[in-house]
């Protein structure tokens, strides 16, 4: 079984989006370099960010996201982001009526069921959990091994928190990854269990 990493780009004051879901300049770092992160060349980062992000993306077998993110992105048009194999959507609602049943998306109710499905699909590859409410719930339940943040030098002031509504103390180990890119600081922490 692979590790479970909670991930998002986050402002220095701990938000992944404004209350209206706008991200403002959080992702400016994905246009701050000259190295294509994907073959289509739409995302260009610095070499330091590429050397960190590309191998991370390649180790992910499944991403777990909440239904709100799925709806907000239009289900990524049925193609998982970052060339990931599968997306598990945590939801209490059925998949959209017009959804392509062949798309590699799996709709499950509850975080435990989502994690079980994701680990089954990922095998020994990494399960990525989108930060926010679902990520915070999984961290609180002891299902997350690492916390990964791409910290953007942006202050949003208010919005949707990286850890969702989590309001308890959870200890992390010292960061084992600290990489500075342009307009971003890549950090990873192991969770203390």
Q: What pLDDT, on a 0 to 100 scale, did the predictor assign at position 36?
A: 92
Q: What pLDDT, on a 0 to 100 scale, did the predictor assign at position 174?
A: 97
- Report the C-alpha gap between 105 and 70 in whole angstroms: 10
Residue 144's closest CA among 163, 159, 120, 160? 163
Q: What pLDDT, on a 0 to 100 scale, did the predictor assign at position 193?
A: 81
Where is 174: in which H helix or E strand? strand 172-181
- Report the C-alpha gap between 125 and 116 in whole angstroms: 14
pLDDT by position in tens, the chain (length 193): 899 999 999 999 999 999 999 999 999 999 989 999 887 878 999 999 999 999 999 999 999 999 999 999 999 988 888 888 999 999 999 989 899 889 999 999 999 999 999 999 999 999 999 999 999 999 999 999 999 999 999 999 999 999 999 988 999 999 999 999 999 999 999 999 8
- Report the C-alpha gap between 169 and 192 in whole angstroms: 11
Q: What pLDDT, on a 0 to 100 scale, did the predictor assign at position 5?
A: 98
Q: What pLDDT, on a 0 to 100 scale, did the predictor assign at position 108?
A: 96
Are residues 108 and 92 in contact, defined by beta-carbon separation less than 8 angstroms?
A: no
Q: What pLDDT, on a 0 to 100 scale, did the predictor assign at position 39?
A: 79
- Report the C-alpha gap between 32 and 22 in whole angstroms: 20
Pick the CATH number of 4-191 from 3.40.430.10, 3.40.640.10, 3.40.50.11540, 3.30.2420.10: 3.40.430.10
Q: What pLDDT, on a 0 to 100 scale, did the predictor assign at position 167?
A: 87
Q: What pLDDT, on a 0 to 100 scale, did the predictor assign at position 60?
A: 96
Q: Has this prediction a pTM greater than 0.85?
A: yes
């Amino acid at each position: 079984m692979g590790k479970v990493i909670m991930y998002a780009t986050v402002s220095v004051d701990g938000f992944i989006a404004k209350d209206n879901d706008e991200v403002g300049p959080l992702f400016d770092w994905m246009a701050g370099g000259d190295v294509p992160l994907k073959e289509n060349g739409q995302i260009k980062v610095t070499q330091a960010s590429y050397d960190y992000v590309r191998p991370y993306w390649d180790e992910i077998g499944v991403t777990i996201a909440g239904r709100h993110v799925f709806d907000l992105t239009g289900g990524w048009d049925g193609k998982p982001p970052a060339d990931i194999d599968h997306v598990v959507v945590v939801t209490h609602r059925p998949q959209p009526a017009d959804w392509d049943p062949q798309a590699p998306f799996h709709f499950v109710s509850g975080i435990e069921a989502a994690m079980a499905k994701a680990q089954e699909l990922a095998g020994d590859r990494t399960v990525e959990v989108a930060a926010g409410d679902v990520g915070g719930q999984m961290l609180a339940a002891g299902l997350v091994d690492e916390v990964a943040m791409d910290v953007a030098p942006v202050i949003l002031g208010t919005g949707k928190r990286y850890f969702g509504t989590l309001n308890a103390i959870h200890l992390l180990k010292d960061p084992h990854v600290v990489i500075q890119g342009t307009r971003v600081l890549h950090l990873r922490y192991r969770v203390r269990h």
